[in-house]
Amino acid sequence: MPKHPISVVVLAAGKGTRMKSKLHKVLHAIGGKAMLHHLLDSVEELSPQKTVLVVGADREQVEAQARDCSIVTQTEQLGTGHAVMVTRAALEGTKGDVLVLYGDVPFIPKSLMDEMIVAKATSPNTGLVVLGFRPKDAAKYGRLITAANGSLERIVEFKDATEDERQIDLCNSGMMLIDGEKIFPWLASLSNDNASGEYYLTDLVATARKDGCNVAVVEAQKEDVLGINSREDLALAEATFQDRKRCEALAGGVTMVDPATVYFSHDTKLGADIAIEPGVYFGPNVTVEDGVTIKAYSHLEGTHIRSGATVGPFARLRPGADIGEGAKIGNFVEVKKAKLEHGVKVSHLSYIGDATIGADANIGAGTITCNYDGFLKFETHIGAGAFIGSNSALVAPVTIGDGALVGAGSVITKDVEGDALAVARGLQRNRAGFAATFRETQAAKKAALTEKKKGR
């Protein structure tokens, strides 16, 4: 695509009252990432001269999350046209056209923005490009009325449209590309003589045509211009995002038994020949290498699973978990901030935290690394080929040497040298006949108490 200078204005000044949240609307997450960041990531791919973020209500929240943006405040909510008017000083000295986007429309891809830029550059005397789409239910949207040559003649709001105009399914998304030399003279000519007393950006269509300029239309897929104004919209956006991620995973060589039950983060990285069973949840910052199997109902975040490993079912991998090649993490196992080398087996009912485990070590059922004393965290080191018996507690800081054995039920508080056997539990004593005598004695006591109660 030919390189054209561009600046971007992102409108995020609205109060978002329908979200019913103390968190600003554009900071609500989709796939674990704020919707504003979804949009800004796409904008960044354009390499704009400048990105201007227009804020208003709860501006401090948005400013804290903005990156590589100039911040402009719209102190009064006087419409979309006014929101762009207040960017004039911020855009001073920039060249080229201005792309106006909305912070609550997070999925617009770079390819669509490129299409708008090309449409303006290649259409004669075009001063404005409007982004349209065709929703399933067009009733609430303004209609784009086009001429025979495809140029935009006007935008008609539904309430003002005739019956014939209401049959048109090409609708206004609100986003547009505006000629950089004409934008502010055009904005200055807008009027707020309407029922709302606001300046509407859509009125620029009439302004541009009155100025002798053509207005082009670029058509988007409805998913690309999905706007979010409520929790219901947010849930729909999440569903849309998840569907896309699932399709990407399947196309990339991942097998999912029931894709609809698997949830991804925006930054999930998956290799090929991975098998994912139902009910798996990927939180942020998860990398899964080739040939891994993740069994049902496992929860992963901040973890790296290396090739050929098996995880789950019902496993929880927390931030800092590094699972080695061919390792096995079984059911009801939790791993946090621990590095497991290749071939390690932690098959069931264990907690491994703040630890390193050497290659081919075997961790028995019910084993825990006691890493926290209520104030500080401490590390456990288990050597290669070590065998930790079931129901053992390893009280950190402690080191188990290569090839060492720890007897089941042990509480290990001291280092165990390589190839040694460590057993730390009470001495077992068997008393012959005790159980029978115990039962007889207790039964007699119970009978006596029963008789006593009857005599009352």
Query: Is 348 tagged catalytic?
Result: yes
For the chain, what is the radius of gyration of the CA atoms? 32
**Cis ω before 48 (30° cut-off from 0):** no
Answer for the pair 184, 190: CB distance below 8 angstroms, yes or no: no
How many CA atoms lie within 13 Å of 134's alpha carbon, on the beta-carbon side?
7
Residue 342 near residue 384 (C-beta atoms within 8 A): no
Backbone angles phi, psi at 392, to 5 degrees: -100, 145
Query: What does the chain come to in residues?
Result: 456
* Rounded Cα–Cα distance for residues 224 and 108 (Å): 5
- On the 0-12 / 13-18 / 19+ scale of CB atoms within 10 A, 402 is middle
- Residue from 37, 304, 348, 381 carrying the catalytic annotation: 348
Instruction: Name the phi and psi angles at 117, rounded to 5.
Output: -65, -45
Residue of 310, 364, 305 whose CA lies nearest to 338 = 305
Asked if 218 and 111 count as a contact pair (C-beta separation under 8 A), the reply is no
- Work out the number of other CB atoms within 10 angstroms of the CB of residue 91: 21
3-state DSSP call for residue 361? coil
Q: Is the peptide bond before 259 cis (omega within 30 degrees of 0)?
A: no
Integer Cα distance of 233 and 231 in angstroms: 5
Q: Could you give the residue numbers annotated as active site?
A: 348
